[in-house]
Structure 1
Amino acid sequence: MLKGIITGLLAVALLSAPAFAADEATMRKAKKEGKVTWYSSITLNIAQHICNNFNKKKMGVQCVLHRDGSGKLYRRYLQERKGGIYVADVVHTSNLGHFLNLKAKKIITPYKPAGTDNFNPKFVTKDNYWTILRAGVLMPFYNTKKISAKDAPKTYADFLDPKWKGKIVHSHPSYSGFVTNGMINIVNKFGWDYYKKMAKQKPKIVQSAAGGIPLVARGEAWLGAGTTSYSLLKLIQKGEPLKPIVPPAGLALVTSPNGVFTKAPNPNAARVFTDYLFSMETMQLLADYFLYVGNPDVKYPKALPPLNKINLMAIGGAELKKKNKPTRKMFKKLFGV
């Protein structure tokens, strides 16, 4: 018995690994690899927060972050792969269509993160090629110092009123998977005629889904056609003069998967880091940032409305995959960028 206790203590001392980590053999190999490179489209401050928290564990594995938009990350990896260059270990974006392509080409490999057995079924997959790290909605919004609640748009059609010409900001679908998803939902509901009319409003075009928030907060634009709900609600919490718009037609639900690359140069570190991403610690951190997660035990901010209280517009991965390129192409044609 004593021998067993000593062996157990030695193992703990040797690994110094938290409860979320993989088995002993995987942890040893991960330490030898020494780092994990994460390609992630979540906003920079959150991605850095996650990496920094992971690195503070001092497990002998360093998180190296490369943050960019979903489309850019996808194209970057495919270009690197074409040249025989493999840098990234783990990938997280808001474009499920891309993940279907990655799966079909066997570019990602199945891995079930530890602790996800009790997750909401909508956040996990049966084949484990990816797990949904977070979900949010594409949310229109306005500057409360520039527009009164009475005069603010109430519907998507209200954004097309000539009085808002030149005062709207819109993000680019070629950069943002979040925006691509939202646009497809809106086109499904109203047709491309909606965006033909939106183009006549001469909106300011930014890259990131969250890129329009600072412009509206500063009054450089008065309205945002749609942004990441979590970024918006977090800044409202901090006192920015912003308010969300929830049109009766609904808000586009965007689920953001995370997966492990088949040719990850640090495959064991990739698994250890993925376990951390879905640990209670990270799940609660994401919830604190106004994101929906699969873990049923997290506590959400009071300002975050439950998903079952929102009229949601949603599309499947196959439709997203099919309509990705046509949506980006049409946007460029209509808006000239």
Structure 2
Amino acid sequence: MRKIWLSGLMGVILTSVLLTACGSDTGTSTATDASNAAADSDSGTLTIYSPNAAEINNPIIKEFQERTGITVDLITGGTGELLKRVQAESGNPLGDVFWAGGADSLASYSEYFEPYKTSEYDNLLPNYVDESNTWTPFNALPMVITYNKEIVSEQDLPKSWEDLLKPKWKGQIAFADPSKSGSSYTQAVTMLTAFGRDNEKGWDFVKKLVANMDGKILSGSSLVQRAVPDGEFALGITLEDAALRYIEGGSQIGIIYPEEGTSAVPDGAAIIKGTKHLNEAQQFIDFVVSKDVQELVQDEFKRRSIRKDVDPVEGLPQTADIKLVDYDFKWASDHKDEVIGRFVGIMMGAE
């Protein structure tokens, strides 16, 4: 099955960039069982809200539809935008699944999600699962600094978050608005943690970073991912897998794991409370964490798997070898409004 899918997946990847999307245990089947149950599910439908890039969404959703017969309506946007949509629609949910976006961002909206313990739960790495099962981890996502090799010389390479404050990088740092991007919010908390989340040292760093950004803040993480390879910015704060995909595509960029430490918070998938398609939603959660999906996402998109039985990505430092900050997931979830409010205030010059 995996070889057949891989062949089909490669063809989908070549065309997916041309596609755009419209803008408690249960006895649910696993992803493997789903392929045998397609005939029984061919009348099902599912609406998925996702901030994922099209090159990730399209082949995975295509495979899910082919295996299960379930028709998927995909709605894309930024994590913050889509979470607010879930909140606004809570009286009459129009979506069924929220797929991807930092799990800390999903946790801050936990009241709008339906707990579900995936049938794959025992195969997941315990440090990535949610004890309440409000969300299910999809991939582990280290946060990195990326740089354009045609702009940044080897001798000028930043090695740390602190190095981003050097005057030479004024106006040359791509970073997304954390009120709109879930990954950017995780990055902001990562930097706060590295310098002192519970005192003003962390916020002093943020103030200096925002000043060195020279008023340039991007509206989404995908813009950061493109801005550095395109030469619009010398440096960027982004996701490891996004940088790796550009490198594999031939872009002259490099990756730095900051000396102070970074984070590898998972993104997640969650069932929207009040969904009218609960069975289909549960099937999708089981599908995206099944072994063959996790293997292919890791192989093709360089996203680190959250399963115990999937081999690590070749050619990358192991997660255990990357210096990580003590990222307090609960703190990040509980203080999201406060952190975003203060960050936006700094960007607006209120501090």
Q: Please classify the TM superposition score into its range, dividing by the shorter chain length.
A: 0.7 to 0.9
CA drift at 1:139: 0.7
The 3-state SS of whatever aligns with 2:286 is helix
Corresponding residue for residue 330 of structure 1: 342
The 3-state SS of whatever aligns with 1:313 is coil
CA drift at 1:312: 0.9
1:50 to 57, 60, 72: 60
Corresponding residue for residue 319 of structure 2: 307
Corresponding residue for residue 211 of structure 1: 223
Q: Distance in 1 between matches of 2:120 and 2:34?
A: 10
1:230 to 222, 241, 248: 241
Change (3 A) 1:102 1:326: closer
Q: Distance in 2 between matches of 1:166 and 1:180?
A: 20
Q: Distance in 2 between matches of 1:108 and 1:22?
A: 27
2:92 to 85, 89, 103: 85
Contact 1:20 1:279 in 2 (8 A): no
Q: Distance in 1 between matches of 2:161 and 2:180?
A: 22
1:279 and 2:290 equivalent?
Answer: yes
Change (3 A) 1:266 1:308: same
Q: Larger relative contact order (C-alpha < 8 A, sep ≥ 6)? A: 1
* CA radius of gyration, larger in: 1
Select between 320-329 and 240-249 the one with higher mean Cα deviation.
320-329
1:248 and 2:242 equivalent?
Answer: no
Contact 1:165 1:203 in 2 (8 A): no
2:233 to 221, 226, 232: 221
Q: What residue ranges of structure 2 are gaps of 5+ in the alignment?
A: 1-29, 196-201
CA drift at 1:320: 1.1
Corresponding residue for residue 45 of structure 2: 35
Equivalences for residues 96-135 of structure 1 within 5 A: 96-103=103-110, 105=111, 107-135=112-140
Contact 1:116 1:295 in 2 (8 A): no
Q: Distance in 2 between matches of 1:247 and 1:161?
A: 15
Amino-acid identity (%):
26
Q: Distance in 2 between matches of 1:125 and 1:77?
A: 20
Select between 154-163 and 196-205 the one with higher mean Cα deviation.
196-205
CA drift at 1:43: 2.3
Q: Deviation digits for residues 130-153 of structure 1, max 9, x if unmatched?
A: 221111111111100111122111
Corresponding residue for residue 83 of structure 2: 74
Contact 1:210 1:228 in 2 (8 A): no
Corresponding residue for residue 140 of structure 1: 145
1:296 and 2:308 equivalent?
Answer: yes
Change (3 A) 1:237 1:293: same
Select between 90-99 and 226-235 the one with higher mean Cα deviation.
90-99
Q: Deviation digits for residues 213-267 of structure 1, max 9, x if unmatched?
A: 211112111111x101111012112221100112210112221121212311111
1:21 to 23, 31, 34: 34
Change (3 A) 1:258 1:182: same
Change (3 A) 1:101 1:194: closer
Letter in 2 for 1:290: K
Letter in 1 for 2:262: L
2:193 to 167, 188, 206: 188
Q: Distance in 1 between matches of 2:187 and 2:57?
A: 22
Change (3 A) 1:23 1:313: farther
Contact 2:193 2:327 in 1 (8 A): no
Letter in 1 for 2:128: F
The 3-state SS of whatever aligns with 1:42 is coil
Corresponding residue for residue 14 of structure 2: none
Q: Distance in 2 between matches of 1:283 and 1:235?
A: 20
Task: Please tell me the root mean square deviation across aligned C-alpha atoms, in Å.
Answer: 2.4
1:162 and 2:172 equivalent?
Answer: no
Q: How many residues in Structure 1 have an aligned counterpart in Structure 2?
A: 312
Q: Distance in 2 between matches of 1:177 and 1:265?
A: 26
Contact 2:50 2:100 in 1 (8 A): yes
CA drift at 1:160: 0.9
Contact 1:287 1:299 in 2 (8 A): no
1:60 to 44, 62, 69: 69
Q: Deviation digits for residues 81-105 of structure 1, max 9, x if unmatched?
A: 2xx33211111343434443444x3
Q: Distance in 2 between matches of 1:316 and 1:41?
A: 23
